[in-house]
Structure 1
Amino acid sequence: MSLTLAILLAGQIAVPPADVPAPDPQAGTAAAPVADEQEATGRTGPAASNAGGDILVTARRRAESVQRVPIAMSVIGGTALAETGTYNVNRLTQLQPSLQFYSTNPRNSAANVRGLGAPFGLTNDGIEQGVGIYVDQVYYSRIASATFDFTDTERIEVLRGPQGTLYGKNTTAGAINVTTRKPSFTPEARIELTGGNLDFFQGKASVSGPLVDDKVAIRLSTSITTRRGTIYNTRQNEWQNSQDNQSLRSQIYWKATDTLDWTLYGDYNRQNPNCCVQYYARTGATQRPVTRQYAALAAAQGYVVPSTDAFDRVTDVDTDLRAKQELGGLSLVGNLDLGGATLTSVSAWRFWHWNPSNDRDFIGLPITTVSANPSQQSQASQELRISSNGVRSLDYVAGLFYFYQTIDTQGLQVQGPAASAFLLNPASAASRDPSTLNGLTSRNTIGFKNTSAALFGKLTWHPTEQLSISPGLRVNYDKKEGSYVSLVTTGTGSSDLTADQRGVLAPQSYQPDFDDWNVSGDLTVAYDVSDTVHYYATYARSYKSGGINLSGLPLDRNNNPILSSATIRPEKVNHFELGLKTQFADRRATVNLAAFWTEIEDYQATVTNNQVGVLRGYLANAGKVRTRGFELDSAFRPTARLNIYGNAALTDAKYVRFVDAPCPPELSGGTALAAGQTPAAAGVSGISPDNCDISGQILPGVSKWAFSYGAEYNLPLQLFGTDGQLYAGVDGSYRSKFSSNPSRSRYTDIAGYALTNFRVGYRKDGDWNVFGWLRNAFDTDYYEVLATQSGSTGLIVGQPGDPRTYGLTLSKSF
């Protein structure tokens, strides 16, 4: 079944025409290998475009038609991922209007759905992510461990809204469910080669076949991605923000009996790019004395950035960059068919090793000469799940889930010879003595243990053929234990610090811990008006586990850690959703709608405090946030040759109550507020408020409007005696303005932007495909992220998105 047909049948597929495979009817329960190439790709030739059919998904842990699943969700097939250049989660956002992904390096990444999921800003290991990442049913505990390239992917399901009564780990905002291609008993091989400008190369290959007759089959896959950087460093004479990714993946399937099968998965990924740089974007006025703001500080040292236009794509940061990571693991999935139900076991172990180097002053002065937090993470999980087979008056899914995780981090930060003049009051003698801060070193030893267990389940009762009622329940326990020890020494090795030195790097030692039980639940009522019109309504009450701060604590006015901020409370989520999934015009048109309203109390936010030092963020609870909106997914096939799709998301995400939030840059950096005093106006040097009431402001990272759209036209053409299709396609996306700071600032709003991609190619279904592509065709300048330099200097740094790229892709199946 082609994606053309899939769009008509699923409606939620926000991608151009390509393959979306239909999984085996037991997928997600007893996921048998595919039998041949036709089943593997889902293509059945040009005639399939006029045929009926359904896309099967496993969102509810059983194979179902996507149109009948009462969940707002999208499905993208492997060929669609290839043709749109969507080879990682970041690029997935151009196809999914409700999905947001922001990253300044792999560790500091966040995936959000409808504006919710993870706090915007630097990653803090002490909390959970609200968007669950699952690969072949295994939960990936850190978004950083999901920054791999998609390799041999069959399909990706993006589920919107709370999913905790269906998935092992509580996912309060949504889930990204990645399914790779299964081993085959029919020998097959695939290869895909891509080359482009910026020295881009990507190679993917897979091979599959039987090992023991019809009992054991194997699949091996690999991929390599390399690309020159997009930012030139004039000081180091090299390109930065490059790509250098390698991955290996294997599967061995064993059909032990007619009712029992096992699949052993293994993968290893290595990434070692020259990455990741943020650099001068603009400046803004803060409340710090003018002599202590960026322009004056830089001038005093005779420093000038290479360019004040970030889209010249040049920088001079003076610290070597590194974003090296290794990740992988093993998992064993077993399925036992009991007749009326299937028992599934998912055992997994995974690791993630992170070895970075950053320039955290973002300019070419030696202010912070070392900033790195190498980290080693491992996780083990066990899920045991039973789900009913087929459709009956009462269907069910129930499971037990256990998860254990450890993280060890060795942080290092060293101040350089320019730190004194840049960070201290120019009126003080200490600021004129480079030795005051030069060599000031913080060595952080951070440990973390995370234990989680849950009992979850969902029933679906069909009182009539048209009506279904689905209650779900989850009982969850979480325990987090941490240790944070920061030892600070001067350039001479002494631990006897002055007040100036403690204001920049303060020694800390604390051992936070958190444990809690909670009960979540949801109720969905669905009604099938006909085979092509389906309504549903959902209410969910869920929790996102509380956590601990593992990035250092804010300091009081005496530069002592505020220990009361070591832990944060759980988020409490109330979610309401109405949905309509419909098809008409002989299934040549699909229009699906969803309306949602989600409120979160004790929202976990990344905040900063008003000190001059280099603590860049910690966690705190905002009083209440709310996100609400509408989503449209539509697809049309007016002729056998033309396919059109359009998807939209209107998201209104705001802080309802956050009265003690950190202030934006224009209200920060001044002298402390004393009783009876009035803060200075925004951007005017003087007195700064201790905190700000940002109730009613928009949440960071989410646009009010987001769209994805496109079309493909194809013509039958015989080439070299082979029947195939000549095709041309366009894919576009748009995101309106959004805030890039936890407290909205006029300096860190990112303007709306539109991206347009084109492709032209020739393919023979199930055999080969060659196409040229042009991405960001109009070379649009846009930022992915804007951030502030620590110390309230007023420097705003940015990370521009990719410029125009072009290339050629060739894929072949054997």
Structure 2
Amino acid sequence: MTIRQTILAGVAFAAFAQPGLAWADPEAAPDAARAESEAPEAAEADIGNGNIILVTARRRLETAQEVPLAISVIRGDSIEATGNFNIVKLQQLAPTLQVYTTNPRNTSVNIRGLGVPFGLTSDGFEQGVGIYVDDVYNSRVAAATFDFLDVDQVEVLRGPQGTLYGKNTTAGAINITTNQPTFDFEGRAELTAGNLNYKQAKAAVSGPLSETIAARIAVATTTRRGTLYNTRTQRWINEQDNLGLRGTLLFKPNDNLSVTLSGDYSQQDPEGYGTVYVRVGRTQRALTRQYDGLVAAINAATPGRNYAVPSTNPYDRLTDLDSNLNAGNKIGGASLKVKWDVGPGTFTSISAWRFWDWKPENDRDFTGLSIVAKSQNPSQQDQYSQEFRYNYESDKIDVVVGLFGFKQRIDTQGTEQQGADASRWSLTGAQAVDPSILNGLTASNTQFLKSDSAALYGQVSYQLTDALTIQPGIRINYDKKEGFYERVVTNGAGAVISCTPVPAAGTVLAAQCGVYQPQSTSPSVSDWNFSYDLNVNYKITRDVLAYATYAKSFKTVGINQNGLPLTSANVPDLSASTVKPESVNHYEIGLKTAFWDRRATFNLSAFRTEIKNFQATVNGGQFGTVRGYLANAEKVVSQGIEADFKIRPSDRVSAYANGAYTDAKYKKFTNAPCPPELSGGTLQPANAAPDYSQPGVAGALSPRQCDISGADLPGVSKWAFSYGVEANAPVHLLDKDGQVYFGVDGNYRSHWNSNASPSIYTDVKGYALTNFRLGFRTDSGFDIFGWVRNAFDVNYIETLQVAPGNVGLIAGQPGDQRTWGGTIKTSF
């Protein structure tokens, strides 16, 4: 065994021996050398120009311009150069991708405004955007918030993908491929340092262990000081503290068979995620029961206290949260992929297990007052998946047939506890001055979700003529969900309380039950679904492809796993235990073009997606349902136009510009919870027509529910753009021949609303971010550059949140300020 083989064997053994290390298949899109032998003839001319982009979006190797669907391809070097090191940051490069997060668990990933209901996350629904890493499905967005590690490229597929991918996806898919083991020894290393004590290190090494076995190991670590300063604890919060490992073994005894065993482990352990005070908006509660009045009452009750937030300007980045803040996130898994060329086709088997451990602590009242003294909802997930897939390709017909099975269990143990200021905040009269009524009142939640899914899917691409191809696909799907939720409520003395029968008004027990209601539900639901799609594409010329798609898709049934809303009688609404499946009709047309000897591409797509029984996350403003719950909106429509332009006139200059217009609305949602400006007052009579004429008027009657038909979906910007330009010039520097290069990239998003029922208080202003980089690189793999992100130090908000209790407080998370630093990397 050579020295190199000995090193690789030792590294591989160390990686695979790590406790809890996860496995994931590394097969990625090939480089240009492999592409020259395997890519379609139409792509070969592009190789010389360096413009080739190969994808596996349709489960076969082809150029991106040949795929008759809307797809954005982001290469690994572009991700690194622009500093977009995880899915949350990826939206800066893909305009129709929206990613919003208050912490890893509560992360929404949407395409064209659809996918995951915006807001606090429930375990009981499916995500409409499938996230795949090396063909392995990640069932929770939280389980895919890891830093990108040794990534080759990311494909963002827009529109339903259920007839090609294992798990059904109604809005699109994010297909991440990592670099695979090689039989030639190679490696890379990268170091980055910047302001805010930013430090990042990455390394990867790959090569043969024998003539038939190759290994690859990669590691990355990222740390950064927090962006918010907590005056209560006198430390920075919302920091970065990430570690990632990935190890892969490839066994290839011959050209027809490959077996890949691969694993990854990611750990994030920051103190976060906290919020800052943004504003107060008037609700319909009495003025003395709104934020300013309540703070004044608390200060008056304790002479000399004089509580006030440290700043009313969110961009001072000051907070005074008094509860513990943590966001421990551990992600990993194991997969085994077997790929076997059998006669005219290829058989693929992908067996995978993944885990996710989440240990959070939050401050749910968003203030330095002790209202919600403790809030934590730790979860543990295990998922297992098995996919069998057969691909057949010929001159006229390509076939993909797959069988997918999925099993998941999530266990959660939640605790929320009221603090010393809770009585003054939530009660009235004599009870408000008695802190013992609510102080220590604790809701302890135990819940689990069992989810099973199986599907048979297939797609045929039949070339009727040299120019015309039809591509039908079908999917048969079965889903079953079983849930359990139990909330036990104890008072400050530790005694269990019961709210059945309903306690007499004005009693201590009634006050306690008005904050936390004991609940116990065991929803169970199953459903069969049949879906299909049809794509027709026509090659107008060698470099112009037109296509049209219709897809009938679905998102399966959901269950509420975080507690139920309360009825007007202040008891859990059991009718909200389950939510109906979504029914999706999707229409799309597109044009993909290449010109100027394929130095430039311009792609255009227009779409309309109609969804009946849209699964929305809503929040009724009560402490007991502060984490939100699921409800069906009768109909949602998302429609728009997207354009992608890339140009590389020479080896010295390259540029891109992407844009999207997205009009996503609740077409019909007649029984939505009301926004804060129409909440908090005495409820209007049960049979009265809702009166919306007095928003923000203290003491006005509040509608029992609101008709928000016609309102924009939350989290969606109507306009989004991204662009980038890089130019280089040959130089001799540092005793090396190479290139000096300068790059600029940026993105813009118009305003959007961050409340499930759009509110005048939660409108997030649009913003534009600009990044610069300047560096020197050589053909041998040496690269050194300096960078500035958010170069003009733009103030912007990433998300806004409505505090519980209808007190009018709006909290938020400011986006990153200007950051700068330098990176040095080498490959061999």
The TM-score normalised by the length of structure 2 is 0.92
**Amino acid in structure 2 at the alignment position of 1:283:** V
Confirm or deny that 1:803 pairs with 2:817: yes
> Where does residue 471 of structure 2 map in the other structure?
470
| C-alpha distance in structure 1 between counterparts of 2:308 and 2:581, whole Å | 46
Confirm or deny that 1:684 pairs with 2:688: no
| C-alpha distance in structure 2 between counterparts of 1:367 and 1:702, whole Å | 32
> Where does residue 332 of structure 1 map in the other structure?
336
| C-alpha distance in structure 1 between counterparts of 2:623 and 2:651, whole Å | 64
> Where does residue 387 of structure 2 map in the other structure?
383
| C-alpha distance in structure 1 between counterparts of 2:546 and 2:274, whole Å | 47
> What is the aligned-residue identity percentage?
56
Report deviation, 1:721.
Answer: 3.7
| C-alpha distance in structure 1 between counterparts of 2:316 and 2:63, whole Å | 49
Q: Is the 8 A contact 1:730 1:759 kept in 2?
A: yes
**Amino acid in structure 2 at the alignment position of 1:254:** F
Which deviates more, 557-566 or 596-605?
Answer: 557-566
Corresponding residue SS for 1:421:
helix
Which deviates more, 438-447 or 716-725?
Answer: 716-725
Q: Is the 8 A contact 1:734 1:753 kept in 2?
A: yes
Cα deviation per residue 1:82-121 (whole Å; 9 max; x = unaligned)? 1000110011000000000011000000100000000110
Q: Is the 8 A contact 1:611 1:791 kept in 2?
A: yes
CA, structure 1 residues 263+32, in 2 after alignment: closer, same or farther (shift >3 Å)?
A: farther
| C-alpha distance in structure 2 between counterparts of 1:365 and 1:640, whole Å | 59
Confirm or deny that 1:263 pairs with 2:260: yes
> Where does residue 309 of structure 1 map in the other structure?
313
Confirm or deny that 1:623 pairs with 2:627: no
Confirm or deny that 1:718 pairs with 2:718: no
**Residue of 280, 292, 295 corresponding to 1:295:** 292
CA, structure 1 residues 295+155, in 2 after alignment: closer, same or farther (shift >3 Å)?
A: same
Q: Is the 8 A contact 1:223 1:248 kept in 2?
A: yes
Report deviation, 1:706.
Answer: 0.2
| C-alpha distance in structure 1 between counterparts of 2:73 and 2:625, whole Å | 43
Structure 2 residues not aligned, in runs of 5+: 1-24, 40-44, 300-306, 499-508
Q: Is the 8 A contact 2:563 2:624 kept in 1?
A: no
| C-alpha distance in structure 2 between counterparts of 1:260 and 1:30, whole Å | 13
Report deviation, 1:340.
Answer: 1.1
CA, structure 1 residues 512+613, in 2 after alignment: closer, same or farther (shift >3 Å)?
A: closer
Q: Is the 8 A contact 2:36 2:47 kept in 1?
A: no
| C-alpha distance in structure 2 between counterparts of 1:141 and 1:491, whole Å | 38
> Where does residue 763 of structure 1 map in the other structure?
777
> Where does residue 25 of structure 1 map in the other structure?
none
**Residue of 127, 133, 136 corresponding to 2:134:** 136
| C-alpha distance in structure 1 between counterparts of 2:27 and 2:649, whole Å | 38
| C-alpha distance in structure 2 between counterparts of 1:192 and 1:132, whole Å | 30
> Where does residue 592 of structure 1 map in the other structure?
603
> Where does residue 284 of structure 1 map in the other structure?
281
1:621-660 alignment runs, 5 A limit = 621-660=632-671
CA, structure 1 residues 379+311, in 2 after alignment: closer, same or farther (shift >3 Å)?
A: same
Q: Is the 8 A contact 2:29 2:55 kept in 1?
A: no
> Where does residue 509 of structure 1 map in the other structure?
520
Report deviation, 1:310.
Answer: 0.6
CA, structure 1 residues 656+262, in 2 after alignment: closer, same or farther (shift >3 Å)?
A: same
> Where does residue 202 of structure 1 map in the other structure?
200
Which deviates more, 578-587 or 607-616?
Answer: 607-616
**Residue of 163, 166, 169 corresponding to 2:167:** 169
Which deviates more, 578-587 or 405-414?
Answer: 578-587
| C-alpha distance in structure 1 between counterparts of 2:780 and 2:388, whole Å | 36
CA, structure 1 residues 614+495, in 2 after alignment: closer, same or farther (shift >3 Å)?
A: same
Report deviation, 1:449.
Answer: 0.2
Report deviation, 1:588.
Answer: 2.2
**Amino acid in structure 1 at the alignment position of 2:468:** L
> Where does residue 17 of structure 1 map in the other structure?
none
1:345-384 alignment runs, 5 A limit = 345-384=349-388
**Amino acid in structure 2 at the alignment position of 1:208:** S
> Where does residue 24 of structure 1 map in the other structure?
none
Corresponding residue SS for 2:432:
helix
**Amino acid in structure 1 at the alignment position of 2:514:** G
**Amino acid in structure 1 at the alignment position of 2:454:** A
Q: Is the 8 A contact 1:217 1:252 kept in 2?
A: yes
> Where does residue 411 of structure 1 map in the other structure?
414
Corresponding residue SS for 2:760:
coil
**Amino acid in structure 2 at the alignment position of 1:424:** L
| C-alpha distance in structure 1 between counterparts of 2:309 and 2:84, whole Å | 34
| C-alpha distance in structure 1 between counterparts of 2:514 and 2:609, whole Å | 40
Report deviation, 1:558.
Answer: 2.4
> Where does residue 710 of structure 2 map in the other structure?
696
Confirm or deny that 1:319 pairs with 2:317: no
**Residue of 53, 56, 71 corresponding to 2:54:** 56
CA, structure 1 residues 363+682, in 2 after alignment: closer, same or farther (shift >3 Å)?
A: same
Q: Is the 8 A contact 1:30 1:261 kept in 2?
A: no
Report deviation, 1:33.
Answer: 8.6
Corresponding residue SS for 2:209:
strand
**Amino acid in structure 2 at the alignment position of 1:744:** P
CA, structure 1 residues 575+501, in 2 after alignment: closer, same or farther (shift >3 Å)?
A: same
Cα deviation per residue 1:298-332 (whole Å; 9 max; x = unaligned)? 11222200000010000000012100011101100
Cα deviation per residue 1:582-606 (whole Å; 9 max; x = unaligned)? 0112222211100000000000001
Cα deviation per residue 1:691-742 (whole Å; 9 max; x = unaligned)? 0110001000010000001211110111244221100011010000101111
Report deviation, 1:258.
Answer: 3.0
| C-alpha distance in structure 2 between counterparts of 1:772 and 1:175, whole Å | 33
Q: Is the 8 A contact 1:30 1:337 kept in 2?
A: no
Report deviation, 1:388.
Answer: 1.4
Report deviation, 1:615.
Answer: 3.1
> Where does residue 494 of structure 1 map in the other structure?
495
> Where does residue 441 of structure 1 map in the other structure?
442
| C-alpha distance in structure 2 between counterparts of 1:413 and 1:709, whole Å | 44
| C-alpha distance in structure 2 between counterparts of 1:611 and 1:143, whole Å | 26
CA, structure 1 residues 94+121, in 2 after alignment: closer, same or farther (shift >3 Å)?
A: same
Report deviation, 1:423.
Answer: 1.2
| C-alpha distance in structure 2 between counterparts of 1:89 and 1:183, whole Å | 24
> Where does residue 3 of structure 1 map in the other structure?
none
Cα deviation per residue 1:518-546 (whole Å; 9 max; x = unaligned)? 00100000111122100000000001111
> Where does residue 193 of structure 1 map in the other structure?
191
| C-alpha distance in structure 1 between counterparts of 2:769 and 2:52, whole Å | 31
Corresponding residue SS for 1:67:
helix
| C-alpha distance in structure 2 between counterparts of 1:37 and 1:584, whole Å | 25
| C-alpha distance in structure 2 between counterparts of 1:59 and 1:530, whole Å | 23
> Where does residue 577 of structure 1 map in the other structure?
588
Corresponding residue SS for 2:514:
helix
How many residue pairs match? The answer is: 778
Q: Is the 8 A contact 1:33 1:182 kept in 2?
A: no
Structure 1 residues not aligned, in runs of 5+: 1-27
> Where does residue 233 of structure 2 map in the other structure?
236
Q: Is the 8 A contact 1:554 1:609 kept in 2?
A: yes
Q: Is the 8 A contact 2:28 2:179 kept in 1?
A: no
**Amino acid in structure 1 at the alignment position of 2:738:** G
Q: Is the 8 A contact 1:274 1:322 kept in 2?
A: yes
| C-alpha distance in structure 2 between counterparts of 1:356 and 1:762, whole Å | 42
**Amino acid in structure 1 at the alignment position of 2:445:** N
Q: Is the 8 A contact 1:194 1:202 kept in 2?
A: yes
1:67-82 alignment runs, 5 A limit = 67-82=65-80
**Amino acid in structure 1 at the alignment position of 2:335:** S
> Where does residue 21 of structure 1 map in the other structure?
none
